[in-house]
Amino acid sequence: MSGPLRLTGSPASGGYAEGPIFRLDRDTASYVLKGSATAEAQALKAAIQAASDQLAALASASTGDAADMLEFQLAMLADDSLSGPAFDAINAGTPADKAWSDALAEQIAGYEAADDEYFRARAADLKDIRQQVLDALTSAGDRTAPPGAILFGEDIAPTRFLATDWSAGGGIALSNGSSASHVAMLARSRGVPMVVGLGSAGMDIAGLALLDAEHGGIVLRPTEGDIDGFRKSSKAYGERRRRAEDGVMKPAATENGVPVRVLVNVADPADVDRIDIASCDGVGLMRTEFLFGKQLPDEETQYRAYRKVLEWADGKPVTIRTIDAGGDKPVPGFTVEEGNPFLGLRGIRLSLARPEVFRVQIRALLRAAVDGNLKVMFPMISVPEEYTRAAALFAEEAKNLGEAGQPHAMPPLGIMVEVPSVAIAPELFSNVAFFSIGSNDLTQYVMAAARDNTAVAALNSVTNTAVLRLIAAVTAFGLLHDIPVSLCGDAGGDPTAIPHLLKAGLRDLSVVPAQLALAKAAIAGVSI
């Protein structure tokens, strides 16, 4: 085929990349039969161990959500129920590669057919694990993309992303994929251009490509005119980013001078080591799921983690969310298996059901409150009674610490607004200290559209009138009753969503650190 090939998708992580296509689905190695069932079983055991070692190495070099995801995959790979059917098939005469692939395929199909996001997310993890072991069996895992390449395929595994050296540039172009996937979040946090939903997975995609992840498209076999135009757009984008970075240390304000607070989201205490506190107004969301890995953390471990961020903030507010386990964030020994975990025992519901675990976190938070400007918020609040019960536990533990002579302080207690019942009737929660809108879950629940489902991606938009109307209503209620309202979901760092959020009344946004500069620049371009 002659002439350029232009494909259009959706931007998942902004930026531009020019380089050779590297096919993620192009096999370069085949499996060599071992000759006996015993040898086949030994080969599979060795491949599983090699994949586990690679995961462990990646996990040790990762923090936050990436480390959580890798730890979960390690736990899955160590589960005998995952590999058992494969070894049974090997004993029946099936080669190791086919036995492993077939055993995982059956489980993957079951997860993919599920209606809820949790199980579809687990399918992606299983696909990742399956491929890592197959790569180890065939040595295909040695296939490395050249520097600056654009990785193209139906989807990309998070481990493949984390194992790729992005220092020389490059990008990701997917025929399927989702802007809400683990990889998309990782790409945004590391500034890797990424486009999803391009289609054409079966076409012969090769050669030089121009990836426009600002608007969502890719050009293959480009003309000289295409290359010149692309480089001009890429240069302009880079200049905008540089101008934004130049202004990152300045307070955020709209074009007509309305001040806007911009805070950062923190997934792990180590995140703050790379952030200058002078560039932001504090922490709008500190997740605590990172602490709950292979075992439940003790009080002292939690206290040290919270204190580190509070001391870094140097008096600026730090909002720490109590454990938001469940849904797509299972915690061994804490969460429970459910048919539909996104609508089940998760967030504050799970914490209240396991008070012996929740009280440990509460004591650590109360002790840390003396080390800085702490605020605490509860996730997945649906009814006022949940807030009342959680606040009562804080009061009880504060009393216990006081009687024990342990220094502590009672922080302001607020709630996440991510369940429609709260956004529709905020007056039922007028006794809370603050509201923090979780745009990801609120949008998902209002629109009945999963965040990771490409087929309904157009529905999952925070700029939908219904979602914006709820955000505006909560913000207006907070203003009327002197209850601070902020937003800490992905929309807070999206330059296309920011004008809508500001016009809905929000003046307090929390974003991932990588989006801080562009968020401030987007705010400066809005007049309200």
* Ramachandran region, residue 29 (left: φ > 0; alpha: ψ -120 to 50; beta: rest): beta
**500 in catalytic set:** no
Please report where in the chains the tokens 């607020």 appear, as a residue. Answer: 414
Q: From CA 157, how far away is CA 381, in angstroms rounded?
A: 32
Separation of alpha carbons 328 and 116, rounded Å: 10
Could you tell me which residues come within 8 angstroms of residue 144 by beta carbon, excluding any fewer than 6 positions away? none
Q: Which amino acid is at 416?
A: M
Is the Cβ–Cβ distance between 462 and 445 less than 8 Å? no
Pairing of strands 373-378, 413-417: parallel
DSSP-assigned letter for residue 452: T
The whole-angstrom distance between residue 29's C-alpha and the CA centroid of its chain comes to: 33
CB neighbour list of residue 131: distance below 8 Å, 6 or more residues apart: 157
Q: What is the DSSP letter of 326?
A: B
Report whether 209 contacts 21 (CB < 8 A).
yes
Instruction: Pick the catalytic residue from 182, 280, 408, 500.
Output: 182
Q: Is 182 a catalytic residue?
A: yes
Helix (H, G, I), strand (E, B) or coil at 212: strand
Q: Is 177 left (phi over 0), alpha (psi -120 to 50) or beta?
A: left
Q: Hey, which residues are catalytic here?
A: 182, 488
